């Protein structure tokens, strides 16, 4: 979702940094910011700031919610989904809490494209563990061979491969090709519409 469908990673980083600075008085380092991308923020904060993680998270969420109207989908995403919905069932697996994901997708007009959302709170393990991907696969009622996973972060590629799915790396948003190459996705997508060409070639 974030960084693939929605141009939201920048706001997420800002919000987390705001929370950290509000509670601890310091800002996140560039390395810390990078390492947060694609991960469940609350769980990472619990590791980094065991005694202050809840306060940091709540401050960050407050900032995020105040700016949620700034989030938009990437150019070409809505057109892609319009084309996909006529032939495919789609679901979202995200490290964001499900209710928050539903709220954001509803605001940007993308919610109705998806059969359901698997959020951070729906499984014990999160990406890169395959558990949320396997849950989505089960709910969709399709075989591994009939499903493709599209994501922009290494954790997406790892989780997809661990679940036995084809992994397509999206590089039109937050995904960096040079980083994703290290995790050997099956395909690279430079623009959303390239997914349509890929699916045609796989049939």
Per-residue model confidence as pLDDT tens digits over 21-31: 999 999 999 99
Q: What is the pLDDT, as a whole number, of residue 36?
A: 84
Tell me if 71 sits within 8 A of 7, measured CB to CB: yes
Question: Looking at the DSSP assignment, which residues form a beta bridge with residue 116?
Answer: 91
Averaged confidence pLDDT in the chain: 94
Q: Token pair of 196, please?
A: 């349509």
Question: Can you tell me the distance from the alpha carbon of 79 to that of 112, in angstroms, rounded to the nearest whole number?
Answer: 14
Instruction: Return the CATH superfamily for domain 77-202.
Output: HAD superfamily/HAD-like (3.40.50.1000)
Q: What is the pLDDT, as a whole number, of residue 93?
A: 97
pLDDT band for position 130 (cuts 50, 70, 90): very high
- What pLDDT, in 10s, does the model give residues 13-60? 999 999 999 999 999 999 998 888 777 888 899 999 999 999 999 999
Residue 43 to residues 12, 34, 91, 106, 129, Cα–Cα distance (Å): 15, 15, 23, 25, 14
Question: Can you tell me the distance from the alpha carbon of 55 to that of 95, in angstroms, rounded to the nearest whole number?
Answer: 20
Q: Token pair of 64, please?
A: 């995020």
pLDDT band for position 140 (cuts 50, 70, 90): very high
Window from 34-38, 43-47, 152-156, 180-184 with minimum mean pLDDT: 34-38
**Single pTM value for the model:** 0.88
pLDDT band for position 92 (cuts 50, 70, 90): very high
65-74 mean pLDDT: 93
Give the phi and the psi of residue 7 in degrees, each rounded to 5.
-85, 75
Is the per-residue pLDDT at 125 higher than 90?
A: yes
Q: Where do the domains of the chain lie? A: 9-70, 77-202
Counting beta carbons within 10 angstroms of the beta carbon of residue 87, is it exposed (0 to 12), middle (13 to 18) or buried (19 or more)?
exposed
Is the per-residue pLDDT at 181 higher than 80?
A: yes
């Amino acid at each position: 979702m974030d960084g693939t469908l929605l141009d939201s990673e920048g706001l997420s980083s800002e919000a987390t940094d705001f929370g950290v600075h509000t509670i601890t008085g310091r800002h996140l380092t560039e390395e810390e910011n990078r390492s947060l991308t694609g991960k469940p923020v609350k769980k990472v904060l619990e590791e980094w700031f065991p005694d202050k993680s809840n306060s940091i998270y709540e401050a960050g969420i407050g900032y995020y919610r105040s700016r949620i109207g700034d989030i938009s989908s990437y150019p070409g995403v809505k057109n892609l989904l319009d084309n996909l919905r006529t032939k495919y069932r789609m679901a979202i697996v995200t490290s964001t809490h499900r209710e928050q994901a539903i709220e954001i997708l509803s605001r940007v007009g993308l919610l109705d494209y998806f059969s359901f959302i698997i959020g951070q709170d729906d499984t014990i393990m999160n990406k890169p563990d395959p558990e949320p991907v396997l849950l989505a696969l089960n709910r969709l009622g399709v075989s591994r061979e009939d499903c493709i996973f599209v994501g922009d972060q290494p954790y997406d590629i790892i989780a997809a491969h661990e679940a036995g799915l084809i992994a397509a790396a999206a590089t039109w948003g937050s995904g960096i090709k040079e980083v994703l190459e290290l995790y050997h996705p099956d395909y690279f997508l430079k623009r959303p519409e390239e997914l349509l060409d890929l699916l045609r070639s796989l049939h």
